[in-house]
Structures are given as C-alpha cells and as structure tokens.
Chain A
C-alpha cells in the first residue's frame, strides 16, 4: 500500500511518463481511499491548465 508521499509522486510522474500497470493499480487504490491525494491530483491538473493559459502565452481559454 502506497503512502501519500509516494502516491503524490506517482500522480506527478503520471503527468510526465506512462505509469506501469502495477503503479496505476496501486495509485488508483490509494486515490480511492485518500481525499488529500485526490485533491493533490486535481491541483496538479489545474497547474498544467493554468500554465497552458497563462496570460503571457499565446492561447486564451476562450480560443480552443
């Protein structure tokens, strides 16, 4: 069973590489049980979206 520190790390790595089957299963199990890590995952996703739509960039949310 993963702890939160490992789960958060896997959430992050999953954004940068394809996780293995074992990793996905153990992360899925942890996330099902842990609200803090679910929040972490949503926050990390939001950071990616925010960077994509940073006002200094070329893309605005209303355009595609």
Chain B
C-alpha cells in the first residue's frame, strides 16, 4: 500500500433510527485506500458494505447517521464538511457506481443529458461542450456510434451498456476515488467480465483508486490488491488479497472461502451454518460467535480488536484465529 492513503476510513459507526428501534448497521469500520489502489469490501448482504460507502459519500438515507469515526479524503475530514462543500466533492473527487444499472439511470432523460449533467454540475461548460465530452466518453467505454447514442433513452440500452454508461459518467471528471457497489451483480456472467475489465482499465489509466464492494470473492481476487472482510457491520479481517486467499485467519473468512463452488474440487460445498445476527440489538461480543466453530468463552463477552496477525499488513479481529 502507498504511504499516503487518498481515502481513509477510521472507526466509522453508522446507526439507523427506525420505528422498531436503532439499527447498528456499521460498528467501527476501518480501511485505507492508496492513490490508484484497488481494495475490496466483502461480506454477505446486510454486512454494512453499502451503508459504509453511502456514509463516505454522505448520502445516507434520512434515518441514518454517522455516530462517530472519521472519513478522511486527501487530508480533509468529510464527516464535518458542509453540505455545500461535500457536494463539490461528489462526482468530481469521489464518485460512485451503483449496483443496478437498470434502475440507476433516469428513465425519462436521455443518456446524453445524464452524462452531461455530471459534467455541468462541477464545470462551467456549455451544453454543447458537455455533449461533445459525453460522446467522446461513450466511445471510450466501447459504445459504438457514440454521437447518436446520446439521444437515446435508458430503456433502449442493454444492462451491460447501461452499466458502461454509469461507469463512464462516474469517471468523466477523473475522480481520485471510485466506489463501485456490486457493479456487476445484476449483469449476465459474460457481460460481467467485460464490465470488470473496463473498470480495471479505466481506473488504471486515470489513476483512480477503486473501492470495490461485492459478495463475490472471485471478482475480488481478480480486481483488488487488498480485501476487507465485513460481518454485521464489523471488520473481521483485512489483508492483501493474495495473503487472504492463501492464509485466511478469521473463521468467518475461512467459511466464506469454503462456500465458493470450485470446478474440479472433490470436496463438498460448505455453507456457513446459521444466519447473520439481528442488527437491531446492540452488539455484545463477536457477532459471528453463534455461527462460529472455533468460539471460546471470551467471544461472548467482548468484540476482539482488529490487530496484526502474522505481519503488520494482515489484520484480524478474532479471539481464537485459525492457525496459519
């Protein structure tokens, strides 16, 4: 990892006030992204990945609140920034690609209008200049006949094309960080590979750091240099990608890796028993304890801190980690 992270999230805590009570969505998440780096947040649905990314963008739904923690972008603390300053960063310095390309484009505006508005939100350029750049951009994400495509509406595009449009829009102003939340989950497998390849190439070319959010470890292995494993709003383990796959230390990570189907492997698929905990209860102890095969008495009492396991770059939060 680079010495100076471009984005640094420290002990982030996010809670939601609902009619049923407080939801403890994110409980002290920490990770760093170096300039031009690629990191992954992995975990089951409900593990707090998406909430973490929305908190970084300060786009949490009304009921959600950052209770404590820091989000530092290039030395600037984002959690205390005014809405006006924050808006200046969104789309320009930090941008986002959402999970479902079918629903993240406005059905009544043309593709061209939707790309151009991202440019015009931050730069004082005319309609025409914005359109020309939009056309150029569509070409660069491999959409043929880009000029004519600008006049078309989202429903006239396939899912893969729409996600290319979203990626193009997110990268149009050359942001320092791109948060991609399950960018290929809604796509066909064949299209997935193309979109990931595009994402990889463009971010590399522009020097954009990428925070990839996914539950798919296969994608993580291909796309990231470092992975942070989340469970019930906690970071369970964080390690360089290669290290994590070779020597997982947290029982949950081991469980995740064991539940990937592998062609040719003779072993059975081993799902993790049980279900994630109810986030409406204040967390006591390790949230994975009820499902953990290696639980010990301490697991019920305290959440273990995230500490270096073998070396300084491999962090694990476990009272009884798997021996390497």
Question: Is A bound to B?
Answer: no
